[in-house]
Chains A and B, each alone.
Chain A
Amino acid sequence: MRRFEYHEPKSLDEASELLGTLGEGAFILAGGTDLFVEIRERLREVKHLINIKRISDLSAIEYSETSGLRFGALVTAGELEAEPSVIRYYPNLRRALAELASIQVRNRATVIGNICRASPSADTIPPLIADGASIETFRPEGGRTIPLAEFFAGPGRTVLEQGEIAIAIIIPPPQQGSGRSYIKHGRRKAMELATVGVAVSLDAKDNICTGARIALGAVGPVVLRAHKAEEILIGSSFDQNTVERVAEQAMQECTPISNVRSSAEYRRSMVGVLTRRAIELAREEPA
């Protein structure tokens, strides 16, 4: 591995100060599963590594019926995958976690690291955006809570400021009659980046859609919300005709590119197919 200086701050204040004073070339180490690859493949020039694993209170997972799920920056994908409240209430997130890389990687990779890397094809982002999650940050002058849908500024870029550290994710509790799903499309199941990922979260009352959030992964510079498609769905009874129109609209709203994994046209067609399937799946198991 290429050389870098290594730091082990004991508090968020200390970590944030290090980030500020060391400037460019200083990066936070949480899981390391992406960062070490980027260092080896020379995709990122790392001069200082700031390991936040010795900071206490970043490893908690808490669920309550009133405030939902909150998990800290050091929670690994494997821990969250095995968390009873995730299995029970957030099957969409669970699916995304179980399809992330491999068991070995999931035992190290943190979910917040996966999010902060801001890849448009990150598996965990679409279900979290569809569920209305927000991210909590630390700043010396006071942290903030940012809706995850507003957290990304472009591929690999977030709205985090210099010295600001993402410390937790909060997902609201599921409403009665809500349903959620995530479908990842790739050529194989494991060790694969999504060609397209679609997450859908629905609220319904008396079989009428009262709320819908559709998040599309790997078909734009950031994970997108298909707002117009959602509007078509809200107020409908999930009839086939409406669902077809929603899927059609989601295809219009995405902005895919062609790359080694697939062409833009293919991605756009798959958005249609998967949006339809994800709505059906979310309707199958309402909470």
Chain B
Amino acid sequence: MAKEDSTAQFAERARSVQTVVAEAKDLAAVFEYAADITVKQGGDTLAAPGIQGKERDRLLEVCRAKGIELICGELRETAGRISTGLTGADWGIAQTGTLVMDSKSEDIRLASMLCETHVAFIKKSRIAPDAGTIEKELSKMMKASHGYLAFISGASRTADIERVLTIGVHGPRELHVLIIGEDGQ
């Protein structure tokens, strides 16, 4: 399948499970998006443990400008008050609209589980047509000792009361996926 088709299918399938999908030019645009959505939803913290070095400084600037606290580590301490979790994803699976996230780091896990809104970004080139295509890579990520590999498709949901679909029972109430095009970095 051509890359464009995979991306389109990924977006379609992810949307069908209540994921908000958007394109982003580059990482800077992702930061803006994450900060904006935090403000829009009345939040005041953004957890982004995976963003390091120069990028972190840039994100910090964005957050400061919007009056948001940036949380970079020790997420257990802030467990109850993460508005937005921002993480990258390693792969996307078009067939099911799934994000594949290496979640070895506990902070990455907490950022994507305990937040109210999870914003994930992924490079277009990393969207595979189906799980079979990237089976080797998946195997490798699982095999890494102390591995925690997450497939995420949509926001946390339940249908346990009269089969009525209800979003946000345990994990994030919203999942936003930003696809970074080929020329972004």
A and B associate in one complex: no
Residues of A within 8 A of B (CB): none
Residues of B within 8 A of A (CB): none
